[in-house]
Structure 1
Amino acid sequence: MQIATWNVNSLNVRLEHVLAWLEKHPVDALALQETKLTDDKFPRDAIREAGYETVFTGQKTYNGVALLTKTPAEDIAYALPGFEDDHKRVIAATVNGVRVIGVYCPNGQALDSPKFEYKLAWFEALASWLNTELQNHDKLVLTGDFNIAPRPEDTYDPERWEGRILCSPPERAALQTLLDAGLADCWRLFDEREGRHRFTWWDYRNGGWARNAGLRIDHVLATPALVDVCRECKAHVGERGRKRPSDHVPVVAEFDV
């Protein structure tokens, strides 16, 4: 079973990219972030023609998440229970016996911003809900754009990024809370990458892609039952080099289930 995540930074702009990628890489489940579409505009028919069912929750201009699955999704959830939030950042469903949770985590903007406090509160709510989900599902994947680089080596310039937004101790502690709950970072199960293959995001500004000024902020976290059968986890970095690309690339994990 292959489970993928991709922040497409506007599905309206990147739909053809997604369809072309799925034709080459027919994963079992694909979690999308930043679809930036209201639900009435979601391209359900085009995706169905490509062989995928869809569940989604979106809003205009910002946020928006979706799950594309080869088989119908069950037991769908669209938000963090008990956390009042108008932002569409969470979607979850059970696919072939695996609980798949797709998230678009807040960016936080700056360490002294109210958005940073919102980010930490949001992660706290996610951790609380995750504990409940883990009690009900031994096979669970939490995946998406986390807007956190876990380690210094997950940035192109550790000295520059250390302590800044996306790399601050409170953010990394929030991510570690999810790992401590019983998940593992599938990326770290395999050999260290070199060059572009170390990262999943490159800024549009200042020639980020050309300079390989990237970060690893898109993750696939899994329970022990899936970690034990994880055969691969990698970024499809070639998508960043396409015309009008997203600033993120797909990350795919493969499990023998």
Structure 2
Amino acid sequence: MKTCRSALVAASVLAQCTSLAAAHAFFQQSGSGSVDYNSSCVRMPPNNSPVTDVSSPNLACNVGGTKAAAGFCEATAGSKFSVEMHSQLNDRSCTNQAIGGNHFGPVLVYMSKVDDASTADGASASWFKVDEFGYDASSKTWGTDKLNANCGRREFTIPAKIPAGDYLVRAEAIALHSAGQKGGAQFYMSCFQVKVKSTGTGQVPAGVKIPGAYSAADPGVLIDIYGSGFKSYTIPGPAVVDQSFF
């Protein structure tokens, strides 16, 4: 990807850089059932640029992701919770793509049980995956296509038997348009501070560390999605947690 230095590049290159930056995005809103929490519980990234180093602590909750959000969202175990991505800050217009510029890739959602969601740093946490959509070869549909078709919104179910308490919810989209070389995959993620109400008494899965769950050479991270041999996609990270575990 070109680096945009407006004082040093020609107008045509600057326009291309501006277009690429506009194609970037971030998760910035959430909801639970009929309640729209907007951005009240998200640890908002400073901009819509991606993380590209899978070993960086920023992979957990993005750049500046250790800073607490303004408040908490509430959810009930077994109910629906949604995360929402858009390319520009506070622009929830459905006429604009959630993540454009051919930024094709999977969408994943993780949760982490923490003592206090306002102070947990994410990188020290253990994460378990609760939702994902990678690639449907029959319709040639990516998770990011699903986001764009649904006004940036991805809805998932909070595991029904999950213990009550504080959680971080980590929403992530991985753009693979430049992933044919190491360091080319682009990771867009945000963490949400959520208090879950539940009567469940099940244990929380051991989970994975982030960073640590992905390798730069993973087949879902290092992949040429435009190559003639591309037919299927392996989503990186662990499998979605089995509801019966709880």
TM over 0.5: no
The one of the two structures with greater contact order (alpha-carbon pairs below 8 A, sep at least 6) is: 2
| TM value normalised by structure 2 | 0.26
Question: Which structure has the larger Rg?
Answer: 2
| TM value normalised by structure 1 | 0.26
Structure having the larger proportion of residues in helix: 1
